[in-house]
Amino acid sequence: MSRIRLLPLRRAPRPDEGIDSWIEALAARHAIAPAHLLPRLGIPDEMRRISRLVTELTPGQIASAQKASGLPAGTLALLAPGELRIAGYLRTGGSRYCPQCLAASDGIWPLRWRLAWVFACSRHARLLRDTCQECGGVQRVNLYAGLRRMLPAFCCSRPAPGGGRCAADLRLAKPGRRLTPPLARTAGWIEQLLADLDDPGSRETAAAVLADLPTVALWLMRRHAKSGTLKTDAPVHDGLGRVMEARLHRDALLTAAVVSQAHHVMAGPEHEAVAHVREVLRRHPGAARIPPPGMARDQWMALASGFDRRMIRAADPDLIAIDRLRMKSMTVTPQRIARPVRGGKTPPVGPAPRRGRLIPQVLWPDWSAKLLPAAGLEAEQFRTVISVCLLIPATAGRTLSDFAALLSPHLTSQQISVTLQFFRALPGSPSGDALTEVLAVLCRLADYLDAHGSPIDYQRRREQLPADPIDWPAWCDLALSAGTQPGARPGRARHLHAQRYLHHLLTGSDLSDPAYPLTFTGPGDRINYLGFALALTPRLRTALHQYAAGLLEQHGIDEPVAWSPPAETAEHLPWPGVDLDTLDLEAIRRIVIEDKRPVAEAARALGVHSEHIRLAIERIDRPEPQWSIHGPDAWIRRQRAPHLLTRDFFEHEYVQGGRRLKQIAKDTGYSRKLLATYAKDAGITLAKAIDPFPIDPQWLREQYHTLRRSTADIARELDTHQMNVNHALYRHGITPRLPGVHSFPEMIAKLPPGIPRAIRQAVEGGLRGWERLRRFQITMRFPTATTAGTYLGITHSSLIHQFQRLEDDLGTALFDRAVIGTPQHPTKAGTRLLRHLEREDVNALMAEALRDRPGFDLPPEDVLDAAHRAFAAPQRPRRPQAPYDDIPVARYRIRPPTLALLRHLLQTPDREFYGLEVHQATGIDMGTLYPLLRKLEHGGWLTSKPEDDDEWRAGAPPGKGPGKRRIYYQLTPDGHRAAQREIERCDHRDAA
């Protein structure tokens, strides 16, 4: 390049003027075309395209231009701003303009007119013009060259169809449309962002918003384009929502509408912006996910202005639980956490591994009580699931099983998912959305642990502390010092439970985890442990805690025995459970400790979960037990027995002293049975016991086997104890009958000869035969089974079920059911059976069988007369339900169960459901619910489908095959309309 020479004429740049406008004005002073001036300024000729001139000038080229034009250093840098100021929002296809500003400045073109998102002139409150009003060309694409006469900067330099240039005076163009107040505020927002770029204190924030603006604006436009709508206060011409993105930079009105939307969601009030984005997401089809549909993953991860947090909050109601937790979308400070891509087995990335060291396998007791609802969940599994869920916030993990592997590998994804889904349908929560309540508390707890940590490193304890933290001698000393007995043997019963209690206390371990050496061996073992923990006295509990503190010190762990996050962590947040501080401890003491009633009964009385009662009992000072023969003293004597009850002792006391075992037992405190055991082990021959109760074996065999009498009945006749009869059976070699129901007297009793065959078939070989016969005799005196059931105090269905059993036993129908106008009446076989029941011998046998059972008296005549009069009274015929005029479904009478079902379904009308889920949420009896669902399906209210094979097999318990398939139902659109109408009708009727 030739040496740069100083131009003879000067022209200083104007404020906010673009470099292309300055070059054109400088060229006009020298009477040459602007493109011809570029080489004289040290700028290559290919820079005549204005977009390149603005964006691609190098520092050396800018310095050459400044030197050639005689300007001070740094002057032209203001006209060609750096990458930060223009990246992402420079128009590549020319410049907009304001005719009035061109007229006032005599052709100066500000740089801001070239920016993609500047659509208005703030000075005149009008939209900028996009093109020339004469030729329709876009302005300021290239610096022109080769004209014989120079064109003023306010004239159109686009080529004309017949040759030459258009040369239309842009100052005379019709001004753009006047801005509405909302668009004026949006234009002012853009102007302020551009101004903030020059302020060091606001530069970073403004640059982030301007960098995100293209992504947000284009995403909004694509979302609206799918439905043909663009919500804005600006006047928008028809079909605007269907324009292509290519028109965005050539249509100021479209730019105004799109940027107005972006302004609303990026800088508007938080709650309004979130509500608007949520409306956009729900209006258009697409999976509920983050990044949102229509926005690339890279674009989403590059957002830096805070719009991502608003997007996450807007998508929260439709996200799955793991994503809501991962991004903390239900909180006011959500986090953008990318879900790992599919493929490979990658552990969760984020604070989960570090947080997992601070979390017990089983959630802290006080927080468990706050999150555990009153019914519907198994407490131990719930507490384990919630601890795993504490790992998820702010952590990138693919599946629930990835998080479970960090803390409780025995948990399955299905167990975690089912627990969380239970809260979605849980009624009666303080906010109406129990799942959101639980997730919000979990996010608060996770934030607290990340910010403040925990004084306990549970992972270190799980690694260093032994599974059996207290040996047998230490446990014996501890239990005896606390005034209780240690148990029979080491490693069993009380010693085993004490080891579990200490390990759980120190490590928060899940005692049902199969990997734990002392895991529960079955439901009975778990129940026994709960009983041990529930019966701990204050002295024993204090002793165990002191031992735990000493064990920590022994292993060099300087930590408290137990700890949990403070209650203020989730202050002002609702939760579905109970605060233990609010429970009535006196009522719990009275029911469980003083009255010795079950924990479940106390839970029902207070309306809470049984786990709440167990946790609360630890805060109650249980009185010290009053031991009898099983107390600590007796245990100590038992331990001394092998050293005291020797052969020399029995030789001295029993053989030589002539004392009986009964006398020795009274003096020593040992039982006669224990003394006999030790005496036989020492080789002492004991005196012969008293002869057994004498019973003739032949007579006993006849009574027991032939006449089928029970041992209790035989004992009453002999005036002796039943055990003497049982011993006689064993002594005389008489084979006893099988235990259980088959040996009940009713099952083996034989009626005397002469009793009618039908009576024998109904009574012999079965239970409660006389009861069914008596109820049949009473029922046939009433006009209907319903009125008879009311008198007998049982339901109609139970009564009919008993009669069906009676008809099966006899092999024939016994009565014809009542119909309108005709009462029930016995058949020929039923009449014959009633006649048999009136016989004196049969009546005596029935009276003897029902002697101790109330409620089988024959009805008085006045009761029968009232029942027959009510049946004979004319009944108004029930008018059939008129069908819907505009809804093509069958119409049914809405009973209370149907109304409860419809109310529940309308809470989540678009979601599939299954019967057990509805039963747990509404309490509708299963025998009523399933016929009701089938009826609604038959009438067109519901659709149904069985669960797919994968879900069916996934629900199988470990080591077992899948059970019965679930049937998933869903409201049809017509069923949804019918349900709404019936509920409105019932509400209006109740209000009236």
Task: Give residue-wise pLDDT tens across range 249-282.
Answer: 568 888 888 888 889 899 888 888 888 888 888 8
Q: What is the pLDDT of residue 235?
A: 41
Read off the pLDDT of residues 422-460 as tens digits, 9 standing for 90 and up: 888 787 666 668 888 899 999 999 999 999 999 999 999
Q: Which residue has the higher pLDDT, 922 or 992?
A: 922
Neighbours of 607 (CB within 10 A): 10
Q: What pLDDT does 398 receive? A: 72
Q: Counting beta carbons within 10 angstroms of the beta carbon of residue 299, is it exposed (0 to 12), middle (13 to 18) or buried (19 or more)?
A: middle
**What pLDDT is attached to residue 689?**
62
Whether residue 89 has pLDDT greater than 70: no
CA distance 696 to 612: 60
Going by pLDDT thresholds of 50, 70 and 90, the confidence category of residue 630 is low
Among 376, 368, 360, residue whose Cα is nearest residue 408: 360
Give tens-digit pLDDT for 108-121.
998 888 888 888 99
Q: Which two structure tokens, joined as six digits, stand for 145?
A: 């060259």
Mean pLDDT rounded to a whole number for the chain: 83
More confident residue, 99 or 884: 99
- Give the pLDDT score at 286: 60
115 in helix, strand or coil? strand
The answer to whether the CB of 792 falls within 8 A of the CB of 778 is yes
Name which of 568-577, 622-631, 781-790 the model is least confident about: 622-631
619 to each of 104, 366, 891, 938, how far by Cα in Å?
83, 11, 56, 55
Q: Which pLDDT score, from 0 to 100, does residue 99 have?
A: 94
Q: What CA–CA distance (Å, rounded) separates 838 from 841? A: 9
Query: pLDDT digits over 579-618, tens only?
Result: 988 888 888 888 888 888 888 888 988 899 999 999 988 8
pLDDT score of 242 more than 50:
no
**What is the phi-psi region of residue 242: left when phi exceeds 0, alpha when psi lies from -120 to 50, beta otherwise?**
alpha
- From CA 535, how far away is CA 541, in angstroms rounded? 10
> What mean pLDDT is predicted for residues 558-573?
90
In percent, how much of the chain has pLDDT > 70? 88
731, pLDDT greater than 80: yes
The pLDDT score that the predictor gives to residue 795 is 80
Q: Which residues contact 972 (CB under 8 A, 6 or more apart)?
A: 889, 940, 941, 942, 943
Q: What is the pLDDT of residues 913-963, one digit of tens each?
A: 888 888 888 888 777 888 899 889 988 989 998 887 777 766 666 555 667
| Model pLDDT for residues 372-414, shown as the tens digit of each residue | 998 888 999 999 999 999 999 988 887 888 888 889 999 988 8
- With a CB cutoff of 8 Å and minimum separation 6, the contacts of 779 are 785, 788, 789, 792, 799, 803, 824
Question: Is the per-residue pLDDT at 232 higher than 50?
Answer: no
Q: Is the pLDDT of residue 477 over 50?
A: yes
Pick the CATH number of 757-872 from 1.10.10.10, 3.40.30.10, 3.40.50.450, 2.40.30.170: 1.10.10.10
Question: Looking at residues 334-345, what average pLDDT do you find?
Answer: 68
> Would you place residue 493 in the very low, low, confident or very high pLDDT band (cuts 50, 70, 90)?
confident
Which amino acid is it at 636?
I
Lowest mean pLDDT among 80-94, 362-376, 528-542: 80-94
Query: Which is higher by pLDDT, 835 or 669?
Result: 835
How many whole angstroms separate alpha carbon 378 and alpha carbon 611? 9
Q: 19-45: b or e for each residue (b if 16 or more CB lie within 10 Å)? A: bbbbbbbbbbeeeebbbbbbebbbbee
188-208 mean pLDDT: 86
Weakest mean pLDDT among 197-206, 493-502, 562-571, 857-866: 197-206
pLDDT at 806 exceeding the cut of 80: yes
Q: What is the pLDDT of residues 868-878, one digit of tens each?
A: 888 887 766 66
Query: Which pLDDT band holds residue 106 (cuts at 50, 70, 90)?
Result: confident
Sign of CA dihedral 510, 515, 516, 518: positive
Q: Which of 239-243, 396-400, 454-458, 491-495 has the lowest mean pLDDT?
A: 239-243
Question: Three-state DSSP class for 992?
Answer: coil
Give pLDDT, residue 641: 66
The predicted pLDDT at position 236 comes to 40
Radius of gyration of the chain (CA): 45
- The pLDDT, as a whole number, for residue 559 is 92
Given a cut of 80, whether residue 638 has pLDDT beyond it is: no
Q: What end-to-end distance do the CA atoms of the chain give, in Å?
A: 95
Which amino acid type is present at position 169?
D
Q: Token pair for residue 177?
A: 């449309």
Burial 318-345 (b: 16+ CB within 10 A, else e): bbebbbbbbbbbbbeebbbbebbeeeee
Orientation of helix 973-991 relative to helix 896-907, angle to 10°: 120
**pLDDT (average), residues 135-143:** 87
Report the CATH architecture of 896-991. Answer: Orthogonal Bundle (1.10)
Mean pLDDT of 845-872: 86
CB neighbours of 816 closer than 8 A, spacing ≥ 6?
A: 824, 825, 826, 827
pLDDT given at position 46: 84
Q: Residue 347 — very low, low, confident or very high, per pLDDT cuts 50/70/90? A: confident
Whole-angstrom distance, CA of residue 479 vs CA of residue 476: 5
The pLDDT of 954-981, averaged and rounded, is 79
> If DSSP codes are grouped into helix, strand and coil, which group holds residue 130?
coil
Which of 459-468, 727-736, 923-932 holds the top average pLDDT?
A: 459-468
pLDDT by residue (tens digit) across 21-74?
Answer: 888 888 888 888 888 888 888 888 888 888 888 878 888 888 888 888 888 887
Q: Looking at the chain, which residues constitute the CATH 1.10.10.10 domain(s)?
A: 757-872, 896-991
Least confident span in 181-195, 462-476, 677-691, 935-949: 677-691
pLDDT-derived band at 563, boundaries 50, 70, 90: very high
Percentage of the chain beyond pLDDT 90 is 16
Cβ-in-10-Å burial (0-12, 13-18, 19+) of 248 comes to: buried
Strands 825-826 and 942-946: unpaired
